[in-house]
Amino acid sequence: MKRFDSKVVLVLGGSSGIGRAAAEAFAREGARVVVSARREEQGVAVVEAIRKAGGTAKFIRADVSRDSDVKEAIDGTVKAFGQLDVLFNNAGIEGKNAPIADLAAADFDQTFGVNVRGTWLAMKHALPHLAKTRGNIVNNSSVVADIGFPNTTIYSATKGAVNALTRTAAIEFIPQGVRVNAVSPGPIETDMASRIFGGLEALREFARSQVPAGTPGLVEDIAEAVLYLASPGARFVIGQVLTVDGGVTTH
């Protein structure tokens, strides 16, 4: 018996990085998984990898900043697999990172549109389905919600908002039996972190001096935490932001 046998999991932002690792980990643990994102080729590649490993998965294209796309991804998941047990709200962009003077209102709207509006829309549309299965939601935050990191005023604010959404929805949804939590990663080796730091080597160099663990994290480190939060073992964990950061915020 695997941890997620008979469960249906939707990973928004499942085409690469942390989302891909989580989708593959949920499938390995027996879940039927819907991988959703904008890039079809990458999303289908994740589905094929899951199927090749013996799992069950399907790709649904969606841009989380669009209300109708989010609803279609959630309804499409239920249509394909009959129910929804876990929503991993992982879709996110770093947006433009620059000193505040070099940022425009449009940059603010774009990053909030994906990271905050997308997360909020998905929680809204998933709730009726999750109430039927007494399912749960895991949002993806970031340690920059808690510590100052220059040139990320907009991105950091989106993640602070994700933490607030997580706590508020947790209290609002729990009477319906739906748990909401978040994972808060430190620097993790992905395309996004590589873009922010100017390459993987620069990220590793940063980690040597700034991360107590001495290295960036791997996508599997975050996937493990997501699976824990989504599992029955976390049934009494409600409205928490679980930091997985190699000690960055403890320093």
Ligand X SMILES: NC(=O)c1ccc[n+]([C@@H]2O[C@H](COP(=O)([O-])OP(=O)(O)OC[C@H]3O[C@@H](n4cnc5c(N)ncnc54)[C@H](OP(=O)(O)O)[C@@H]3O)[C@@H](O)[C@H]2O)c1
Alpha helices in the chain (DSSP H): 17-28, 40-52, 67-81, 105-112, 118-133, 153-173, 191-197, 200-210, 219-230
37 binds ligand X (CB under 6 A): yes
**Region label for 13, one of left (φ > 0), alpha (ψ between -120 and 50) or beta (otherwise):** left
Q: What are phi and psi of 185, to 5 degrees?
A: -80, 150
Q: 75: which 2 tokens?
A: 């309804």
Dist CA 132 CA 85 (whole Å) = 9
CA dist 184 to 48, 54, 238, Å?
A: 28, 30, 15
Exactly one of 4, 59, 88, 155 is catalytic; which is it? 155
Q: How far is the CB of 53 from ligand X (least distance, A)?
A: 19
**Closest to 226 (Cα-Cα) out of 198, 184, 174, 175:** 184
The 157-196 site mask, x for binding ligand X (CB under 6 A), equals: ----------------------------x-xx-xxxx---
Tell me which residues in 90-149 interact with ligand X (CB under 6 A): 90-93, 114, 140, 142
Nearer to ligand X, 133 or 151 (CB): 151
CA dist 232 to 18, 227, 235, Å?
A: 21, 10, 5
Q: How far is the CB of 169 from ligand X (least distance, A)?
A: 17
Tell me which residues in 49-88 interact with ligand X (CB under 6 A): 62-65
- Segment contacting ligand X by CB under 6 A, of 1-9, 16-24, 205-213, 223-231: 16-24
Nearer to ligand X, 5 or 118 (CB): 118
156 binds ligand X (CB under 6 A): no
Q: How far is the CB of 194 from ligand X (least distance, A)?
A: 8
Nearer to ligand X, 37 or 154 (CB): 37
- Note if 155 is an active site residue: yes
Among 2, 5, 6, 39, the residue binding ligand X under the rule CB under 6 A is: 39
**Closest to 141 (Cα-Cα) out of 111, 112, 183, 113:** 183
Among 7, 10, 17, 121, the residue binding ligand X under the rule CB under 6 A is: 17
* Interacting residue ranges for ligand X, rule: CB under 6 A: 13-19, 37-39, 42, 62-65, 90-93, 114, 140, 142, 185, 187-188, 190-193
Give the active site residues: 155
